[in-house]
Structure formats: C-alpha cells, structure tokens
Structure 1
Amino acid sequence: MPPSVKDVAALAGVSSSTVSNYLNHPHVLGAASRERVRDAIEQLGFVPNESARQLRAGSSTALALVLLDAWLPYFNDLSRGVEDVARGGGWSLFFSNSNRDAELERRNIDMFEAHRVQGIIIYPLGDVVPRLERLAGSGIRSVVIGPIASSPTVASVLFDDRGGGRLAGEHLLSLGRRRILFLGNPAVSQSNDRLAGLRDAVAGSGATVTVQEVSHLATEDGLSAAERIVTLAADERPDAVFAANDMVALGVLTQLLRNGIRVPDDIALVGFDDVDQAHQGVVPLTTVRQPGYAIGRAAGAALLQMLSDPSAPPPATTPFPAELIVRESTVGRRES
C-alpha cells in the first residue's frame, strides 16, 4: 500500500493537518515544519493525488511564471530566481512562454486560471494589469516584472531600464561616438525605456540616434541588422551600436567581424543584460548589467508575501539599479 498523509505525519513528527497545510497552504507553516514534512515525503516516496486534493481544498499549491521569451538567456536566470524562492516556500512552479505573442500571452493566463494556480508572475508583452486585477477578485494574486500603472492588487518588480540606456549613451559619448544606432523592439516597453535613456544622454550633445526595429531581440536579428550596416559606405555607418539586449549585440558583433569591420575601432558596441555569453566572445561585450536571478527572487518573494496576507496591499519594491560593465567592445584591449 502506498504511503498516506498519516504515514508522512508520523515520520515527520507532526499532525496530519500540518501535512495537509504543507500540501495546500505551505506559506502558513514555519521553515522547520516545512523541512520536516518535505524530508518525510521524500523518504517515503509519498505522491499526493493532486486532482482529488485540489477538489477538496478548492485550490492548488502551484504558482505560474509567464515569460516573454523563454529562449533568451536572461529569462533562464530570472526563472531560476523565481523557482528557488517558490520551492523554498514549498510551492510548485509552472512555466509558460508567450513568445512575444499577445494572444498566446492571454491564453497562458487563461490556462493558469483554469488550473487554479494561487499566484502568477509575468514578464508581459502588453498591459495585463486589468486582467490580473480581475484574477485578484477570485483569489489569484500577481506580480508583474516591469513597469505598471498603480494597482491596488497587483505588485511589480522594476529595473531602471531608462537609467541603463542613459549609462550606455553617456559612455559612448565619452568615447567620442556621435552616430549611434539603436536596435530594439518598440512593442516591448523595456526596449522603449532603454531607447529613452539613450536619448536622454545625447540630448544637446550634437550626437544623433537612429533607430532600427528588430522583431525578436535574438541573435539572428543582430546578424540581419549588421548585414545592412556592412553595405553602407564607411562614412555613412554608425560609429556606435547600442542593442536592446546582449543577444542582438552578439549577432551584430559576429557579422561585423565576419566582414572585416573592427570592434571597437570602427564601431563601438554596447549590449544589455550581461548574460554569460557577453564576456565569453572573441571581443568581450560592454553591457548594462540587469541581475535576472535577483529580480526573479524579488518577484517570487513579493508574490509569497501577498499570498501570506491576502488583505494587505501589494508590497512596494525598490527598483533594481543599472550598472554599466565596460569591456573591449567599446574601449579595446587594455594592456595588463
């Protein structure tokens, strides 16, 4: 006979109601009790009947994470942060990918509502706050990673994207660069904020900013964008490129080097995020560091705080500051 809740309770030295709370409402238990029950479950190989349990409890012990583009390395870091907090609190976590598709994003939210998750963390494409506020009415709390309008039920975790764009622009100006090309996606608010920061930096300097749209913010987009650059006469090319993320910047870097254009001598290059690949290339990439793992942890902690006290207003979180990481793609190789 498979182990039961009573067996787990006996091994853990707790009551059956404590085991039930661990399965249904883990946030009400202390860390020590959660650990004892978790260890007993693992030792016995106890597997709860999720369908029956959810019908009895009227809820699940699951949280959901809706990503904008799961294939980008930044979102791997962010996901690990959310997952570590969720699992540490005794929650399970489901993942989905909107793939920069508004309709798919809507269906992902619908799916998690149907599965009665207790909370949702989302890095959105569009304005999802009205929908999330309606979910709050049925007990599903949410955290948005990114800027939102003030909400009485939805929390947000912010990064200073505009400040990061400003840092990138100020750095390029300090190097004497005056023809700056920005590669971004206007459908993504964070990309627009990075562009706004760049424009803040160059205002009144005499430098120009040209914008080229890239659809998916992926390496292939950078390769394609740089194909156009290499067809231009040398005096018509930008002398600097600021990409809305590192993967686009790395695509640009690859294409420029393939065509004999020197980085940074001919064109300086700045990315955004500081993913691992940024420092691993032939020419290490100057970038704006965005701490994906820490942001994910902050979002997870905010959601668990909301679930522990559903009557409280959404927690206020301090925006994560931007940090410029200077490498060879803008300043060249430094003598040791």
Structure 2
Amino acid sequence: MPERSGKTTIVDVARAAGTSVSSASVALGGQPGVSEKTRAHVLETAKRLGYQPDQRASRLRRRRSRLLGVTFAANQHFHAEVIENLYRSAEREGYDLLLTATTESRSARKAVESLLSDRCETLILISPDIDEPELERLAQSAAVVTIGSHLRAPGVDSLHADDRQGVADVVDHLVELGHRDIAYVDGGRSGEAVARREAYVESMRARGLHRHVRVIDGNPTEESGAEAATRILESGDATPSAVFAHNDMIAFGLLLTLRSRGVAVPGDMSVVGYDDTRLAALTTVQMTSVSQDAAQLATAAVGRAIERAEKAPPAREIVSPARLVVRATTGPPRPRLDE
C-alpha cells in the first residue's frame, strides 16, 4: 500500500475492510450489530493501518443517545397509531424515536440490525414477525420490549392486550345475537395471530359450537380480507352468518367485498374486526371491533424501555384490557329456511 499522508480515519478503515462506516464504527466500539467475523476483520484492518480513534469522538459516542429504536410493519394501520402514541410518551420523558419498517422484502432481522448500528438504547418491536429463539438471541445483544406480541424470551418485556378475553367477548357478542356459524379469518404466522386463532377455537368450543369452528387462511391485509370474502361466497359450503377477522384491515377488505357482491352487512352477514383503528370508526364503516388501547400500550412500553436502558430491571409481561366496541356491522342473523 502506498504511503499516505495524514491521520488514518474510520472512513479509511471501512474502505480497506470493505464495510460501511457504520459497521466499522460498531465493530471498533465493541457494540452489538455486526458478526464476530466482521468485527475481527475490522479490528485487524484498523491495527494494520495504525488507526487511532479520536478520543473526543469516543467520549461523544459514550454519551447517552436517548434514542428508542422502533420496528413496525409499514402496511399496518394499528402500528401507525401505536407509533403516534410512542412519540408522545417518549417526548414527555426526553427521549426520541428512531423508526425502521419491515416490508415484504425487508425482514425484522434487517430492521433490527439498522437500529443496533445507530446506538438505540432500547428496541421496541411492534408485533415482530420473528420466533421465540430469534427473539431470545436478539435480547442477548440489546434491551428489548415488544408490543402486541405473545412471544416470550428471557430478558424481554412483553406488552399486549388480553387477546383471549377480547376474542371471547366477540364470540359471546355474536352468540347472544343468535349466531352459531361464526367463521374466523386468520392473520398469518406471528405470535399475535396464533394467540387470537387459538382463542377463537377455544371460545367456540367452550360454547358448544365445535361443529361450527371454521378458520380461513389469511394474512393481516385488506387484500386477504377480500380474498376470504370471495372464498366464502364461492366455496359451495354453508355460508357463515358472521365472520370475525384477525384485524380491522382484513375486516375492511371483507366488508367492501361483501357489499360489492350484494351481501347486506349485517343483514346477511355480520363482520367483526380487531384493533379498533380509526378505519373502524369511520362514519361510512362503523365496524364492530376490539380495542387494544394503543395509547396505554405505548405509554407502558416507553416506560419499560427507559427502565431497561437505565436500570436493567427484571423483564415483565404486562397485559392490558381488551374492550369490545359494538357498532353497525353486527346484528342478529337472518332466519334460514331450514330453521
């Protein structure tokens, strides 16, 4: 290598190591966020180049960032409402948020890595699409709080609504109206989706409706709700008198498709969502849904995140009440000819 003038900088180290500047910084600072192989390579490169860190910059890096990193799904309305409330709660405590989204092409792992490289003091994961072993591995390198997830891992705070009670309240509401054929549109593979699906099956069986349990595959999008409505109407099976969806977005897709096909809601079929987003409360929608209280969850999450950053207390599971909000999309079933 030709001799160069001037002091070797972290940019020089990153370029020689073939990494980004942020990855080089994480590796040299001994912070989580890069593999051990990458860390060793960066350290060896820095030594070879004679890199000496700027002490003033090092002192600045050691100062508290007062940043809470947040991952969320870009296509979820409820996540947006949680984030709005997270900002309010964080600002009151003198903290700021750093957001990173997950999409169909950007995994939760990738989103988390970007937050770790930016020195966030605690990670807040909103309904993360990961499994428990991966969550446990993440908690070994960062303080973690989850919102809306039923996954548990050592050292991770879990905050979620009482989905079991929320689902049971929906089934009770529909049964009291006279419904028996109550179908459920699933929300995918996440821990949250598994918990709600299992609660639906348990609630139906507890009311003696074993024969009427019907779970329709889906994912947490409006398109999935539209597809579920089409399958229900074209399957040739007995049409349910009520459909309960994993979230409001699925329920909205159901509602629009049913109405476009001439199905009266709730006259011919009742529809229930979950999350009680602004979408459900629109005058033109007025959908029965279950409220998780985004503000309460956000406030509790920020409190736990700051505690974990400052004191590292034992992890907790905090369960907030779920509340059924009855609106115009549920009503008594229409009498059938065979009854």
TM-score in terms of structure 1 length: 0.74
Query: Contact conserved, 1:178 with 1:208, CA < 8 A, in 2?
Result: yes
Are 2:204 and 1:202 equivalent residues in the alignment?
A: yes
Which residue number in structure 2 is paired with residue 185 of structure 1?
187
Identity %: 28
Deviation string, structure 1 residues 262-304 (Cα, Å, up to 9, x no partner): 1112111111011111121535211111112221121111111
Which residue number in structure 1 is paired with residue 144 of structure 2?
142
Equivalent residue runs for 1:261-280 within 5 Å: 261-280=263-282
For residue 306 of structure 1, what is the amino acid of its counterpart?
A: R
Task: Please state how far the C-alpha of 1:327 moved relative to its aligned partner.
Answer: 1.3
Task: Please state how far the C-alpha of 1:207 moved relative to its aligned partner.
Answer: 5.0
Secondary structure of residue in 2 paired with 1:167: helix
Equivalent residue runs for 1:218-257 within 5 Å: 218-232=221-235, 236-257=238-259
What is the CA–CA distance in structure 2 between the aligned matches of 1:214 and 1:206, rounded to whole Å?
A: 21
What is the CA–CA distance in structure 2 between the aligned matches of 1:281 and 1:256, rounded to whole Å?
A: 18
Query: Contact conserved, 2:136 with 2:153, CA < 8 A, in 1?
Result: no
Which residue number in structure 2 is paired with residue 65 of structure 1?
70
Are 2:136 and 1:130 equivalent residues in the alignment?
A: yes
Equivalent residue for 2:95, pick from 91, 110, 114: 91
Q: Structure 1 regions of 5+ residues with no counterpart?
A: 1-50
Deviation string, structure 1 residues 294-321 (Cα, Å, up to 9, x no partner): 21121111111222213x323x353111
Assess, with a 3 A threshold, how the Cα gap between structure 1 residues 206 and 156 changes in structure 2: closer, same or farther: closer
Query: Contact conserved, 1:169 with 1:199, CA < 8 A, in 2?
Result: no
Are 2:123 and 1:120 equivalent residues in the alignment?
A: yes
Work out which of the two has the higher radius of gyration on C-alpha atoms and give 1 or 2. 2
Assess, with a 3 A threshold, how the Cα gap between structure 1 residues 282 and 173 changes in structure 2: closer, same or farther: same
Q: Structure 2 regions of 5+ residues with no counterpart?
A: 1-55, 333-339
Task: Please state how far the C-alpha of 1:53 moved relative to its aligned partner.
Answer: 7.3
Task: Please state how far the C-alpha of 1:57 moved relative to its aligned partner.
Answer: 2.0
Equivalent residue for 1:165, pick from 152, 164, 167: 167
What is the CA–CA distance in structure 2 between the aligned matches of 1:176 and 1:169, rounded to whole Å?
A: 11
Task: Please state how far the C-alpha of 1:202 moved relative to its aligned partner.
Answer: 1.5
Deviation string, structure 1 residues 132-163 (Cα, Å, up to 9, x no partner): 3211xxxx321112223352x22111211122
What is the CA–CA distance in structure 2 between the aligned matches of 1:263 and 1:94, rounded to whole Å?
A: 41
Assess, with a 3 A threshold, how the Cα gap between structure 1 residues 313 and 250 changes in structure 2: closer, same or farther: same
Query: Contact conserved, 2:266 with 2:329, CA < 8 A, in 1?
Result: yes
Assess, with a 3 A threshold, how the Cα gap between structure 1 residues 56 and 193 changes in structure 2: closer, same or farther: closer
Which residue number in structure 1 is paired with residue 108 of structure 2?
105
Task: Please state how far the C-alpha of 1:218 moved relative to its aligned partner.
Answer: 1.5
Deviation string, structure 1 residues 14-57 (Cα, Å, up to 9, x no partner): xxxxxxxxxxxxxxxxxxxxxxxxxxxxxxxxxxxxx9477542
Assess, with a 3 A threshold, how the Cα gap between structure 1 residues 201 and 241 changes in structure 2: closer, same or farther: same
What is the CA–CA distance in structure 1 between the aligned matches of 2:202 and 2:243, rounded to whole Å?
A: 16
* Corresponding residue pairs, total: 271
Assess, with a 3 A threshold, how the Cα gap between structure 1 residues 161 and 100 changes in structure 2: closer, same or farther: farther
Which residue number in structure 1 is paired with residue 43 of structure 2?
none
What is the CA–CA distance in structure 2 between the aligned matches of 1:300 and 1:187, rounded to whole Å?
A: 26
What is the CA–CA distance in structure 2 between the aligned matches of 1:195 and 1:54, rounded to whole Å?
A: 50
CA RMSD of superposed structures (Å): 2.3
Query: Contact conserved, 2:221 with 2:250, CA < 8 A, in 1?
Result: yes
